[in-house]
A and B are shown apart, each in its own frame.
Chain A
Amino acid sequence: MHIKEEKAERHTLAVIVDNEPGILARIAGLFTARGYNIESLTVSEITEDKQVSRITIVTSASPHVLEQIVAQLDRLVPVHKVRDLTAEGAHVERELALVKVRGTGEARIEALRLAEVYRARVVDATISSFVFEVTGGTEKIDKFVELMNEVGLIEVARTGIVAISRGKDAA
C-alpha cells in the first residue's frame, strides 16, 4: 500500500490575532496537529497599544485543505480575522535578508557590483567581509543568495514573508 498526496498550491494568509500569551503556539500547533504545512511564518505587533498582532503564514495545500486551514484558524478564540491574500487577488509580498559575504580582491568587487544590481545595502563592512541588507520577493532573495554563494557566502538570516493586499482596503 502507498499513501497518496493531493496536489498542493502555495498561498499566503494574513491572520490578525489578539496578542495573548500562547497565541503563536496555538497557531503553529494547529498546523502540526492537523497536518498542514508551514513554509514561512512571521509575526509582529501592529497596534500602538500592542494588543493586536499580524501573522503572515505561507502554506502549501490543496484547495480543499486551504479552505479548512482558513476555517480552522478563524475558529480559534483569539483570532480576529483570517484572509487568504493569494485567493483574494493582488497583493505585495516582501522579505528581508541579511547576507554575510567573505571576499577580498576581485570577489569583493564582484559582490559589491551584484549588490548594486539587487539594490542591496551594505550594513556592515570589514576588510574581508560585507553584510548586505536586501529586500524583495522570495525569488529575488533566493537569486541574490545564490549569486553570493559563488562569491563567498558565509551565512544568511531571512525574515520570512510579510504580505499586504494592494489597493485602499484593509485585509
Chain B
Amino acid sequence: MAEKSGADILVEALCDLGVEVVFGYPGGAVLPIYDAIFKQKRLRHILVRHEQAATHAAEGYARSTGKPGVVLVTSGPGATNAVTGITDALMDSIPMVVITGQVATHLIGSDAFQEADTVGITRHCTKHNYLVKDPARLGATIHEAFHIATSGRPGPVVIDIPKDVQVATAKYTRPGPIQHKTYRPQIKADPAVIEQLVDMLAAAERPILYTGGGIINSGPAASLLLRELAKITGAPVTSTLMGLGAFPASSPQWLGMLGMHGTYEANWAMNQADLILALGSRFDDRVTGRLDAFAPNARKVHVDIDRSSINKTVRIDLGIVADVGHVLEDMVRVWKARQHPKPDTNEWWRRIEGWRAVKSLDFPEGDGKEIMPQRAIRALWEATHSQAPIITTEVGQHQMWAAQHFDFEAPNKWLTSGGLGTMGYGLPAAIGAQLGNPKALVIDIAGEASIQMNIQELATATQYRLPVKIFILNNEYMGMVRQWQELTYESRYSESYSDSLPDFVKLGEAYGWKGILIEEMSQLDGGIADMLAHDGPVIVDCRVAKLANCFPMIPSGASHVEMILQTDKVAGTLNDEAKALV
C-alpha cells in the first residue's frame, strides 16, 4: 500500500466518514491541508470570515442535519478564535470535529510564530482532544474523533495536527467498526427500570414530561416516540429552550417552554406536578429557578445519556443512564404490552387550563404604529410557518421572544445558543443550516447588538449564494441587559445603549445583500413579504418598541410560582443574594 501525506490522509478520512462540508479559514500551519483540499473535488470547503463563525456554522449545520459539523483552522489565533464556538458546542451537546493546525513537532514549546497550546486551551471545552504527533496514527485518530463526537452525549472534539505531520507520509487504513478501550456510552436502559418507570407514570395523578435537547440529539425517531408517549399517557409536555420542536406546538398537550422566560402554565405545572419525567434535559438553572423551591412535591425521574447530568443540581428519585430515544421506545412498548388504559388526568388538566387562562404570553399591542417585538415574531411566523423554516437566533430578548412566539412543529428547525448564550451565533449558524438544507427557508432572528458580533459573515453568504434572511428586532438596546438593569439596578443603563449603529440596509447592500427597513406596523407584513420574495440573502432592519421587556420572567433567585407577568409593574433593586446570581 502506498503511503500518503498526513494532509491527504485527513482529506481521505473525512471523505470516508461521509463529510461533505468543511467550514474553515486557511493559515500558515494548515497550508499542506489546504493544498490537499485544492487538489480534490469530494469535500466542499466553505471559507468563513472569522474562525468563530466557522464553529457556529458547523453547529448550525450539525443541529439542522443531525450530521457532525467539521471545522478547519490554523494554529495560534485560528485555534483561539474557535474556542468560543467549541465551548458553545460543548454546552449544547453539538457533534463537531475541529481540525487545528499546529507548528511542527520540533517547534512545539518554543513559542514559535502562531504557536498556542491548543490541546491545553481546549482540554476543558471539548469532549475530548488529540495532538497527533505520528502520521501513522492520524487516520485512526480522525475515525475515533468522529465516533466520540457523535456517540453518547455529542460534543466537540479537537484534533491538533502539527505541520510536519501533515507533510510526512504514512499508510492509511479505512475506518472500520470502533470498539473503544474505555469509551462505551450506555445506550439501553435495564428493562426492570423501564417497568418501574412505567409503573410510576401509570400511577401519577399529575405527571409532566419535561423534555430537552437530548430528544433532538437522539434523532427524529425520538420526537415521534415522544408524541406517542404523550398520546397514550395524556401527560402535558413542556420543553427547555434546546428542545423546542421535539413536540409540536400545535398540540393541545403542549404547555410551551418552561423556565425563566417560560409560560405560566409550564412553570406552575412543574411546581404542582407529582411526577416529573425529565427526558434529555438537564435541570439547568434557567429551568429550575430557586433550587430549594423547585417542584417540591414531585418525584423526579431523569433520563440522560450522561451520568454526570443526573443528581448534578436536583435530587433525583430514579436516574436512568441511556439514550432517551431507546427509553421512549421501551416505555411505549411496555405501556402498550400491558394494555394500560389512559390515566385519568382530567383534574390535572382542569388546573392546567386555569393557569393557561392567564395567557402569560399576551403582550400590549402598542399605539398601532409602533411595532411590538412580539408582534413582529408572530407576523414572521404567520408568513412563514407553512414552509417549516429553520430559525436561528442570536442571544438576548429577541431570542426569548422567538422561543415564546415562534411555534415549531418539528425538530431540527430551531438553532440557538442555549447553554453558553453566545451573541453572534445566529448568522453563521444560519449559513451552516442553509448549506445543509439548500432548499429550506433559513431565518436568523437577531438583535441589533448581537448581529454585529459576527456581521462579517454577510460576505460568506454572498460568496456561496446562500439565500439566508436576517430579521433584526432593532430596539437600539442590548435589551436583556437593559431589562436586568431595570429590574435590579434601578434602571441605571450602564453601557447597554446601542450607540452609533450602522445603517443595516446600506451595510447589507455593501455586501451584496438586499436591505429592507421596517419602521412601523403598516410596513410589517409587506416588509416580510418582500424579504421572502427575494431570491437571495436579505437583511431586514425592523425597528421595534425600544423599551419592551420580555415576560413572563422568573427573577433570579425566585421560584417557579414567583413569576413576573407582563401586567406587573416591576422596577427597582434586588437583594445581594439575587444580584449574585446570573
- The residues of A with any CB-CB pair to B shorter than 8 Å are 1, 17-18, 21-22, 25-26, 29-30, 33, 64, 67-68, 71-72, 74-75, 77-80
Residue of A whose beta carbon sits closest to that of B144: A77
Say yes or no for B354: interface residue by CB 8 A criterion: no
Cβ–Cβ < 8 Å partners of A68 in chain B? 308, 311-312
A1 and B576 form a contact (CB under 8 A)? yes
Q: Are A75 and B148 in contact (CB under 8 A)?
A: no
Query: Which residue of chain B is the closest to A73 with respect to CB atoms?
Result: B308
Instruction: Specify the chain B residue showing the minimal Cβ separation from A75.
Output: B308
Contact (A77, B183) CB under 8 Å given A1-B577, A29-B124: yes
In the complex, which of the residues A21, A33, A67, A80 contacts B182, with contact meaning CB atoms closer than 8 Å? A80
Q: List 13 A-B contacts (CB under 8 A).
A: A1-B577, A18-B181, A21-B131, A25-B123, A26-B123, A29-B124, A64-B311, A67-B311, A68-B308, A74-B307, A75-B306, A77-B128, A77-B183
A25 to B120, CA, bound (A): 8
> B560 interface residue, CB < 8 Å from A?
no
CA A74 to CA B310, docked complex, whole Å = 13
**CA gap between A93 and B306 in the complex, in Å:** 31
| B120 contact set on A, CB distance < 8 A | 22, 25
* Chain A residue at minimum C-beta to C-beta distance from B152: A75
Chain A residue with minimal CB distance to B311? A67
User: Per-residue 0/1 for B561-582: is the Cβ within 8 Å of any A Cβ (1 yes, 0 no)?
Assistant: 0000000000000001100100
B398 on the interface (CB 8 Å rule)?
no
List of A residues within 8 angstroms of B128 by Cβ: 77
Interface Cβ pair total, 8 Å cutoff: 42
Set of chain B residues within 8 Å of A29, measured between Cβ atoms: 123-124
> What number of B residues sit within 8 Å (CB to CB) of A?
21
Q: Are A78 and B576 in contact (CB under 8 A)?
A: no
Q: How far is the CA of A19 from the CA of B245 in the complex (A)?
A: 43
What chain B residues lie within 8 Å of A25 (beta carbons)?
120, 123
Please provide the chain B residues from 178 to 218 with a CB less than 8 Å away from any CB of chain A in the complex. 180-183
Given contacts A1-B576, A18-B182, A74-B307, 10 further A-B contacts (CB under 8 A): A25-B120, A29-B124, A67-B311, A68-B311, A71-B307, A71-B308, A72-B308, A77-B183, A79-B182, A80-B181
Which partner residue on chain A sits nearest B307 by CB separation? A71
Contacts of B311 in A (CB 8 A): 64, 67-68
In the complex, what distance in Å separates the CA atom of A144 from the CA atom of B123?
40
**Cα–Cα distance between A29 and B126 once the two chains are bound (Å):** 13
A110 to B462, CA, bound (A): 85
Residues of A within 8 A of B577 (CB): 1
Asked if B182 and A78 sit within 8 Å, CB to CB, the answer is: yes
Kindly state the separation between the CA atoms of A71 and B309 in the bound complex, as whole angstroms.
9
Please give the distance in Å from A33's CB to the nearest CB on chain B. 5
* Nearest A residue to B128, CB-CB: A77
By the criterion CB–CB under 8 Å, are A77 and B127 in contact? yes
Chain A residue nearest to B131 (CB atoms) is A21
**Does chain A have a CB within 8 A of B119?**
yes
A77-B148 CB under 8 A given contacts A1-B577, A22-B123: yes
- Shortest Cβ gap from A47 to chain B (Å): 12
Q: Is the CB of B310 within 8 A of A71?
A: yes
> Would you call A1 and B580 a contact (CB within 8 A)?
yes
A26 partner residues in chain B, CB cutoff 8 A: 123
A-B residue pairs, 7 tightest by C-beta: A71-B308, A1-B576, A77-B128, A71-B307, A77-B183, A33-B124, A80-B182
Closest to A25 in B: B123
Q: Which residues of A contact B576 (CB under 8 A)?
A: 1
For A18, what are the chain B residues with a Cβ–Cβ distance below 8 Å? 181-182
Which residues from chain B contact A72 at a C-beta distance below 8 Å? 308
Chain A min CB distance to B270 (Å): 22
Residue of B nearest to A20 (CB): B130
Hey, which chain A residues are within 8 Å of B580, CB to CB? 1
Smallest beta-carbon distance B119→chain A, Å? 6
In the complex, which residues 87-137 of chain B have their Cβ closer than 8 Å to any Cβ of chain A?
Answer: 119-120, 123-124, 127-128, 131
- Chain B positions within 8 Å of A17 at CB level: 182
- Tell me the bound Cα distance from A30 to B312 in angstroms: 15
> For residues 293 through 318 of chain B, which have their beta carbon under 8 Å from a beta carbon of chain A?
306-308, 310-312
Q: Hey, which chain B residues are within 8 Å of A77, CB to CB?
A: 127-128, 148, 180, 182-183
**A1 CB contacts on chain B under 8 angstroms:** 576-577, 580
B182 partner residues in chain A, CB cutoff 8 A: 17-18, 77-80
Residues of B within 8 A of A33 (CB): 124
For the complex, give the distance between the alpha carbons of A72 and B123 in Å.
Answer: 14
Could you give, for residues 308-348 of chain B, a 1 whenever the CB lies within 8 Å of some chain A CB and a 0 otherwise?
A: 10111000000000000000000000000000000000000
Nearest CB on A from B316, distance (A): 11
- The distance in angstroms between the C-alpha atoms of A30 and B127, with both chains bound, is 12
Residue in B closest to A67 when the chains form the complex, CB atoms: B311
The interface centre, meaning the residue of B123, B181, B182 with most chain A CB atoms within 10 A of its CB, is: B182
A143 to B442, CA, bound (A): 70
Q: How far is the CB of A83 from chain B (nearest CB, A)?
A: 15
Q: How many whole Å from B424's CB to the nearest CB in chain A? A: 24
Closest to A71 in B: B308
Known A77-B128, A77-B183, A78-B182: A22·B119 in contact at CB below 8 Å: yes
Q: How far is the CB of B294 from chain A (nearest CB, A)?
A: 15
CA distance A150 to B550 in the complex (A): 68
